[in-house]
Structure 1
Amino acid sequence: MTFRADDLIERRRLRRKLTFWRVAAFLIVLLGLAGLSAWFYRADLGGTASDHIAKVRIEGTITQDDELVGRLEKIRKSPQVKGVILAIDSPGGTTAGAEYIYDEVRKLAADKPVAAEVGSLGASAAYMIATATDHIVARQTSIVGSIGVLIQYPDLSGLMDKLGVKLEEVKSAPLKAEPSPFKPTSDAAREMVRKLIMDSYDWFVGIVAERRHMSRDQVLPLADGSVFSGRQAVANKLVDALGGEDEAVAWLGTKGVDAKLKVVEWKSTRRGSFFLPDSLAGLAAQALGLPQGNGDLLRELGADRLFLDGLVSVWHP
């Protein structure tokens, strides 16, 4: 009987210990979930839940970027963001993609002061996006401008003749699927494309005139595709001031934003590349001397520019 009583007592002790550790494990899991939720919340706020100035990078070739537009919308709705800096370093891209981002930046600027900080390059469609902000700063040696629109396509007809390849086609009208890379461009097709280009060019010039508070006659001499240094851009009123992040923050200060607030980058939520995971893409970018941020390696190499569809506003060095 003594052995059975001791055994019963020991079993009760084990049950109490087991219950304690079960409760402890449950609490640890709850704390972990709470911490994970807080981490995701901070990630959506660029890493902080306190008042701050949000910074968003617009780099590489510009296309219709749903992720970027969604990020700008979150910034607009965040009460912790008091001001915004768009860090632009891009040769441009598709006009439709730039228009999409431009419209979202204008919505953002209606609620919060927004400045653009041009790095090495803010040309073509990238400059269009910069004009959506209310203040543009650029380095003295930044490249700005290249206001214009183009369509480029190859003429492979000579190569096809050499290879003995002949194109046969049946179409509903002469201008259907024109211009074609498989035959020389007709005068009618060239005129059709030119009308399309000039209509979009007129729209682009109008945006610059409106946003830079200039007349159309003032913009037209600057909208011949020319690029300008930051110094020249200031002189031509395409840029407001020379400088970088500090100057952008100082301007935000004139709009009621506390200049002492921390500048927090709201990074892309993309993870890796279609061709390479994050780790391999980072190593490859490092070996090639390319940025190791959130950009796709192929975007950094410029390969995506080879497959731009539609009207394009891009500067090719």
Structure 2
Amino acid sequence: MTFRADDLIERRRLRRKLTFWRVAALFIVAAIVIAASAWFYRGDTGGTAVAHIAKVQIDGTIFQNDELVERLEKIRKSPQVKGVILAIDSPGGTTAGGELIYDEVRKLAADKPVVTQVGSLAASAAYMIASATDHIVARQTSIVGSIGVLIQYPDISGLMDKLGVKLEEVKSSPLKAEPSPFKPTSDAAREMVRKLIMDSYDWFVGIVAERRHMSRDQVLALADGSIFTGRQALANKLVDAIGGEDEAVAWLGTKGVDPKLTVVEWKSSKGNSYFFSNSLARMAARALGLPEDSGDLLRELGADRLFLDGLVSLWHP
């Protein structure tokens, strides 16, 4: 009798263990399926495998950004993306960076309807990018415009004189490495730079005239560096409507996109700002003798603009 009781207890113990491992196995299989699904859908569909409207944030100072270009290309090729919203909040940046993104947005707009939703600011190169879309929506108090190009450089020759520092140079021709921060700009160098700026300015004005269906004279009247509120921009034909994301989605509806589709943000796969990287922010913080975690604060204060090089289309608040 004792043998049979012990045998029964052992069987119950084995049954409990078997039940535990069966449940554990089910949890493990479920976790594997979920992880595999997340990995499979993580990049090409913005985290979802169903039809949706893709949203892309473009904020901060604009640089040449290969990651953003790749992301826009993935959006263009994704059959799940039915329409695209560019959410822009930027003072502009380098003309080359703006041109790169502008060209990619035009490729995207050839395949899918694309609309810009302006937040607080879309100026200079950021407005250039906005003009690549077929419809621009801005808030009444958004800042829009600042159509123009500039190049800036310091003149520290006075400081060098006070410190007793002289610059010696040997160069192949007078305009080589001009303008220089180490001496006052010559008239010839200033004229060379002006020609450079005006050529890019002429190109920028042409883009706005073409994309906004305006005459060149109409654009030139606005392209003196002026900024406008959303309401003023609407009156000047620089934007098409006043509103936010709802109005952007409504416009996509007029282009055959179901306005009931979910708006899904396609984020940077690198996990940092695509204009002023975390590593660059940390480097700037170290250079200023600040803790490395001050990088985000520096980026918010606009320190990224210190690293701009070449022709710039940027609004300075």
TM-score by length of 2: 0.85
Residues 167-203 of structure 1 show CA distances to partners (whole Å, capped at 9, x for unaligned) of: 1111111101000000000000000000000000000
**Which residue number corresponds to residue 113 of structure 1?**
113
Shift in Å at residue 37 of structure 1? 2.6
**Amino acid of the structure 2 residue aligned with 1:42:** Y
Q: CA deviation at 1:66?
A: 1.1
The 5-angstrom pairing of residues 92-241 of structure 1 reads 92-241=92-241
Cα 1:27/1:168, change in 2 over 3 Å? farther
| Mapped partners of 1:306, 1:224: distance in 2 | 24
Letter in 1 for 2:217: D
1:309 match: 309
Partner of 1:73: 73
Q: State the SS of the aligned residue for 1:256.
A: coil
Whole-angstrom CA distance in 1 between matches of 2:79 and 2:102 = 22
Could you list the runs of 5+ residues in structure 1 that have no partner in the other structure? 1-9, 11-16, 277-286, 289-294
Letter in structure 1 aligned against 2:206: G
Write out per-residue CA displacement over residues 208-260 of structure 1, whole angstroms, 9 at most, x where no aligned residue. 00000111111101001000110110010000011110110010000000011
Provide the secondary structure at the position in 2 that maps to 1:137. strand
Once the 2 structures are TM-superposed, how far is the Cα of residue 36 of structure 1 from its aligned partner?
A: 1.9
Separation in 1 of the partners of 2:26 and 2:180? 67
Q: CA deviation at 1:27?
A: 7.7
- State whether residues 61 and 299 of structure 1, in contact with CA within 8 Å, keep that contact through their aligned partners in structure 2: no
User: Corresponding residue for 1:48?
Assistant: 48
Amino acid at match of 1:127: Y
Residue identity over aligned pairs, in percent, reads: 79
**1:280 equivalent in structure 2:** none
The total of aligned residue pairs comes to 293
Other structure's SS at 1:271 match: coil
Once the two structures are TM-superposed, the CA of residue 46 in structure 1 deviates from its matched residue by: 2.1
* SS of residue paired to 1:43: coil
Give the structure 2 partner of residue 37 of structure 1: 36
Give distance in 1, aligned partners of 2:150 and 2:35: 48
Structure 1 residue 67: Cα displacement: 1.2
Q: TM-score of the superposition, structure 1-length normalised?
A: 0.85
Output the amino acid matched with 1:219.
V
Q: Partners of 2:298 and 2:114 in 1: how far apart?
A: 29
Structure 1 segments, 4+ long, off by >6 Å, are 17-28
RMSD of the alignment, in Å? 2.6
**What is the aligned partner in structure 1 of residue 243 from structure 2?**
243
Q: Secondary structure at the match of 1:165?
A: coil
Q: What letter is aligned with 2:106?
A: R
Query: Partner residue of 2:286?
Result: none
Please give the alpha-carbon distance, in whole angstroms, between the structure 1 residues aligned to 2:271 and 2:218.
44
CA distance 1:34–1:298, change in 2 (3 Å): farther
CA distance in 2, matches of 1:257, 1:229: 29
Q: Any stretches of 5+ residues in structure 2 without a counterpart?
A: 1-9, 11-15, 273-277, 283-292
